[in-house]
Structure 1
Amino acid sequence: MDHGASSSSMATCKISMLWNWYTIDACFLSPSWQITSHGAFAATCIGVMLMVVLLEFLRRLGKEYDQHISRQFAARVGVIVNAGSSPSSASASAPAAARCSSSARDGGGEPTVVTFRASPLEQFIRAVIHAATFGLAYIIMLLAMYYNGYIIICILIGALLGKFLCDWMTCKVVIGQPGADAKGSAAAAGIDEPTVCCG
């Protein structure tokens, strides 16, 4: 009698591979993530939205960190040009650990190309940000594969909020730059590309 009462009181996870609107007894990712009340389901919806906002933040963080490294490289090039020294010697005296190589053609008026590589620490930070973004994107994808209408709507709302808050578009256009057309000026100014959904 006690066994029957305990088994009847145990809630069964509701999982469907078809579109559904389950709330109570819905399970996500593991049996421990089982919805037992409307408050728990509301907390789940809010948590899913925050996860998607965090995903957009990590994408923006990765882009901003890459731009930060690029600005450091550009500053080193400025030091090289102002010092009038060769790129290899200026790179050796730079405080950062990035490697630098150059190629130039003498007498032809060709521009000097300086190639920088990120230091091991910078590359490791880039890899950590990428791994966190990649993993979080797949967790969100697994949540969407439960085909719960409420969860999918929350994912879309989170994407909207994340894009609005974390990826505000800015554009710098150089006006009146001699010897450059509008397209070249825009490219030189570095117009931000929109964040794409890849995961």
Structure 2
Amino acid sequence: MDHGGGHEMPAARCSMNMLWNTQIVDTCIVFRSWHIYSSFTFLLSFITIVLLGITYEYLRKAQRTLDIRVASGLVRNNSADMKTPSTRNAEDPPKRRHLSAQSGSETVRCFVYPVPTNLRIQRSVLYGVSVFLSFFLMLVFMTYNAYLIAAVVIGASLGHYIYGGQLEAEAILVGTSDAGKNIACC
């Protein structure tokens, strides 16, 4: 828009690359409004993406922690129910189901417990947010910008270092890692 002074600002354009690139200025990240205009806004964007990668790893850890808390509560509550005399009538459904499955050469026995609605909601919300963030980071990755890809990888690596400080060694060795989501008891 010219106000009589002859100084018209050119409209900034988002550069959309479908090839590997190292462009900094005029790169847009996911939204047209997340437009990198300078080296400084690039640095802020880089740091933001690293923090999003760390947040994603935090969410994965929070999911595992919540699942462990829920699982231990379900087992504890159902163990107490098994020790006390049953007051339920024969038509009440049992609180858990027994599953058997083959895992390699051995039979694995496990129980599947119904999860109360409030805990299912918590687990679902946490899962939904982590899925959203994972796809958002995938879209950042799809800018094909080497620096932004590095920010995603650095964020994920730092997040894994920060939140991955414990390992369930026995579960991994017997093939039941990943919060009980193995083929034997799914």
Classify the TM-score, shorter chain.
Answer: 0.7 to 0.9
CA–CA distance in structure 2, aligned partners of residues 117 and 81 of structure 1: 16
Gaps of 5+ in 2: 99-108, 180-186
Using structure 1 for the length normalisation, give the TM-score: 0.70
CA–CA distance in structure 2, aligned partners of residues 16 and 172 of structure 1: 43
**Per-residue deviation, 1:80:** 3.0
CA–CA distance in structure 1, aligned partners of residues 87 and 49 of structure 2: 49
Alignment partner of 1:150 is 2:135: no
* Corresponding residue number in structure 2 for 1:96: none
Mapping of residues 156-175 of structure 1, within 5 Å: 156-171=153-168
Mapping of residues 83-162 of structure 1, within 5 Å: 83=84, 85-86=85-86, 100-101=95-96, 115-162=112-159
Gaps of 5+ in 1: 93-98, 104-111, 174-182, 195-199
CA–CA distance in structure 1, aligned partners of residues 159 and 59 of structure 2: 10
Q: Pick the structure with more helix per residue.
A: 1
* Corresponding residue number in structure 1 for 2:15: 14
* Corresponding residue number in structure 2 for 1:95: none
**Per-residue deviation, 1:30:** 2.0
Query: 1:118-173: per-residue Cα shift (whole Å, max 9, x none)?
Result: 11111111110111011111111111111000000111111110111112233365
User: Percent identity at matched positions?
Assistant: 25
**Could you say if the C-alpha distance between residues 145 and 114 of structure 1 is closer, same or farther in structure 2, counting changes exceeding 3 Å?**
closer
Native 8 Å contact 1:88 1:101 kept in 2? no
* Corresponding residue number in structure 1 for 2:178: 193
CA–CA distance in structure 1, aligned partners of residues 131 and 110 of structure 2: 33
Using structure 2 for the length normalisation, give the TM-score: 0.74
CA–CA distance in structure 2, aligned partners of residues 61 and 127 of structure 1: 12
Native 8 Å contact 1:87 1:100 kept in 2? no
CA–CA distance in structure 2, aligned partners of residues 57 and 26 of structure 1: 28
**Could you say if the C-alpha distance between residues 156 and 113 of structure 1 is closer, same or farther in structure 2, counting changes exceeding 3 Å?**
closer
**Could you say if the C-alpha distance between residues 153 and 28 of structure 1 is closer, same or farther in structure 2, counting changes exceeding 3 Å?**
same
3-state secondary structure, aligned to 1:61 = helix
Q: Counterpart amino acid of 1:143?
A: V
RCO comparison, higher one (Cα < 8 Å, 6+) = 2
* Corresponding residue number in structure 2 for 1:35: 36
3-state secondary structure, aligned to 2:32 = strand
